[in-house]
Amino acid sequence: MGSIMRMPEVLANATEAIITKWILPEGSKFSVGDLMAEVETEKALVEVPAETDGILGKYLAKEGAPVAIGSPIAILLNAGEGEAELARLLEESGVSNSSSIIETGAPRVEQIKKIEVKEMETAPPVQDVKVSNHDGRIFASPIVRRLARENGLDLTKFVGSGPNGRIVRRDIENSFKTGVGPQSTAKLNLQNPPGSFTDIPHTGMRKAIARRLVESKSTVPHFYLNASVVADEFLNFRSKYNEWAPKKISVTDLLLKASAAAFVDVPMANVIWTDSAIRKFEDSDISIAVATDNGLITPVVLGVNRLSLAQLNEVTSDLINRARAGRLKQNEIEGGSFSITNLGMYGTESFSAIINPPQSAILAVGAAVEKQVVLNGEVKICKIINFTMSVDHRAIDGALAAQWLAAFVKRAENPYWLAV
C-alpha cells in the first residue's frame, strides 16, 4: 500500500514550514535516504530524505507555499500501484484528484513543456503596433514630460508605443539605447520620482528572525557589560600562526578559543535559563553569527574547548560555507549557551546585540582601532577592540558576568596559550 507524506517537524515547536524545492519530479522512483525536497524552516534550509523505497506519485504542496506541520505534502506509491491507489490516498488526504500519476516514471514537467511548445507553435505572432502623433497633440505622462524637459528632447518627434500612441517612459529610454529617437548630449535622467519605493515580501526566515528577536527583547531581561582589549598581541599571534600553519585561522577562531577558555575559568557562566532550573553545560558549545542573503544564521560550534585551532578552523569554515549556501542541518543551528557576533570587518567600533534564546549571553565584537593607551606608565599607540556582552539577568548575575568578561580579556591579551 502507498502512503501519504506529511510535512515533518524539522524544527522543534514549529507550526509550519515551506517547501522551497521538490528535488524529485512526480513519477520518480526513490530509495531510502534519497533527497526528496528542500524545506525552509525558521532558521535554515533542511533537506528531507526518503524514509522508504517507492514512487513519488503526486505533489500535494506547492513550492513556496507555507504548509502546516503534519499536513499532507505528497502521495507515495509502491511499485505496480497506479490510479486506483492514488485516488484512494487522495481521498484520504482530502485533496482532489485534478491530474493523474505518470506511471512510467517520466517527470510530469516534461509533458507540460511539450504541451506548451505545441501551443506556442500554433499561436499567431504578436505584432508590435506603434501609433504616431501626427495631429499635433502629445499624449505623454507627467514623468515622461519631465524626462524630456530635463534631457532636451522634443516629444513631437517621438512615436509612442503605449495605448493609443501614448509616449511612455520606455520610449525615452529606447531612444538613447538605439539612437532612433532625437539625439541629445545630455545624460538621460531616470531618477525615481520623490516618494518611490519597493515592497520586498518577507521570507519565512525573515519573519522568524523578526519574531524571535522581538520575543527575546521583550521577554528576556538584558543587561550589558563593556570591555576593551589591547589586541596587538592577539592579532600578532594570528599573523605568526598563519605564517607556518598549513591552514590559516581567522579572528573568529581565536575569539571562540578565548571564550571557551573563559568558560573553563568561570564555569558557572556556561548556563541557560529554563522554567524549572538553571542548566549548566560541561562543554563550550558556542554559536557564531553568519550573515546570509536570507538573514542571520547562527550555527553552533560544538565542544570548542576540545578542539585545537586547526580543528576549530576546519569546523567553522565548513559551517560558515554551508550556512551561506543554505545547507545546514537542523541540529547544527540548535543548542549552545553563548553566541559571538562580529561587525568589526565593517568598521563598527562597538554595538550591542540581542540574545539568541534560549542562550544566556552574546558577545558583540567591534573593529580593531588604533588609540593612545597608558601601559606601564608609558603612552603608546595600540590596537584596541571593544567588546559588549549582552546577558540574560535571569541566568547570570552582574558579578558573574563581569568575572567571565574579565577572564575573556585576560585570555585574549595573552593569546599564546591558544596554540595548545
Q: What is the CATH number of the domain that holds 78?
A: 2.40.50.100
Is residue 202 part of the annotated active site? The answer reads no
Domain co-membership, 38 together with 173:
no
Domain co-membership, 216 together with 341:
yes
Q: What's the CA gap between 417 and 141, in Å, rounded?
A: 71
Cell numbers 545630455 correspond to 186
Q: Where are the alpha helices (H) located in 220-308, listed in sequence order?
A: 232-244, 251-265
Q: What's the CA gap between 53 and 79, in Å, rounded?
A: 9
Domain count, the chain: 3
**Average confidence score pLDDT of the chain:** 81
pLDDT tens, position by position, 141-199: 666 776 777 777 888 878 777 666 778 777 777 776 655 454 444 444 555 677 788 88
3-state secondary structure of 112: helix
- What's the average model confidence in pLDDT over 399-419? 93
Long-range contacts of 215-218 (CB under 8 A, 24+ apart): 215/357, 216/354, 216/355, 216/356, 216/357, 217/354
Alpha carbon 302 to chain centroid, angstroms: 21
Domain co-membership, 303 together with 276:
yes
Confidence of residue 43 (pLDDT cuts 50, 70, 90): low
Domain co-membership, 72 together with 217:
no
What's the domain range around 90? Answer: 3-121
Whether the upstream peptide bond of residue 182 has omega within 30° of 0, thus cis, is no
Q: What's the CA gap between 302 and 187, in Å, rounded?
A: 57
pTM of this structure: 0.65
List 134, 202, 222, 393, catalytic entry: 393
Domain co-membership, 258 together with 393:
yes
As a whole number of Å, the CA-based R_g of the chain is 30
pLDDT tens, position by position, 363-376: 999 999 999 998 88
Domain co-membership, 44 together with 152:
no
Confidence of residue 323 (pLDDT cuts 50, 70, 90): confident
In a domain, 185, yes or no: no
Which pLDDT score, from 0 to 100, does residue 95 have? 67
In a domain, 126, yes or no: no
Domain co-membership, 265 together with 332:
yes
* Domain CATH number, residue 164: 4.10.320.10
Domain co-membership, 225 together with 338:
yes
Any idea what the Cα angle at residue 47 is, between residues 328 and 85, rounded to 5°?
A: 170
